[in-house]
Amino acid sequence: MPYWLMKSEPDELSILDLQRLGQARWDGVRNYQARNFLRSMQVDDLMFFYHSSCPQPGIAGIARIASAHYPDPAALEPESPYFDAKASDTKNPWSAVDVAFVEAFKQVIPLATLKNQTALLGLPLVQKGSRLSVMPVSADEWAAVLSLR
């Protein structure tokens, strides 16, 4: 079963928001590589929930993929920040999935800590210049992060 890591700005959706909601739509992915990863997800895959662009960037918890991918409705909504004029009902290039809350870590595992782990050197998250917002995580990387809780 594949594992994933997905970035969210906690101002938009934090792990505690997801805990309160139970489930939420993961939309607004506007990068083809990230979108392709969304499309290869299976229901019940697990993902690390990463907080980005915030005072304490890091992995904040775990969620579960709760739906197959589907066309991202936000791309069709003119009021949405994720609106894409090139998207239409019949041709929507963007995808979304639903995710369900699994666990909120007592403390966020800081990016600086993740960068110190030899086991995580292959993870795009810690690589210089990488901006990928959805990425696969190997079983070894998954275990390495869990050991930091």
Given the rule CB under 7 A, which residues bind DNA?
Answer: 7, 30-33, 52-54, 57, 111-112, 115, 128-133
CA distance 14 to 25: 12
Which CB atom, from 33 or from 107, has the smaller least distance to DNA?
Answer: 33
Which CB atom, from 41 or from 133, has the smaller least distance to DNA?
Answer: 133
Closest CB 104 distance from DNA, rounded Å: 18
Q: Is 74 exposed, middle or buried (0-12, 13-18, 19+ CB in 10 A)?
A: buried
Closest CB 119 distance from DNA, rounded Å: 19
Which CB atom, from 5 or from 97, has the smaller least distance to DNA?
Answer: 5
Which CB atom, from 112 or from 143, has the smaller least distance to DNA?
Answer: 112
Encoding tokens for residue 130? 């990488």
70, 96 Cβ separation under 8 angstroms: yes
- Residue 144: helix, strand or coil by DSSP? helix
Closest CB 112 distance from DNA, rounded Å: 6
Compute φ and ψ for 111, nearest 5 degrees: -55, -40
Closest CB 138 distance from DNA, rounded Å: 20
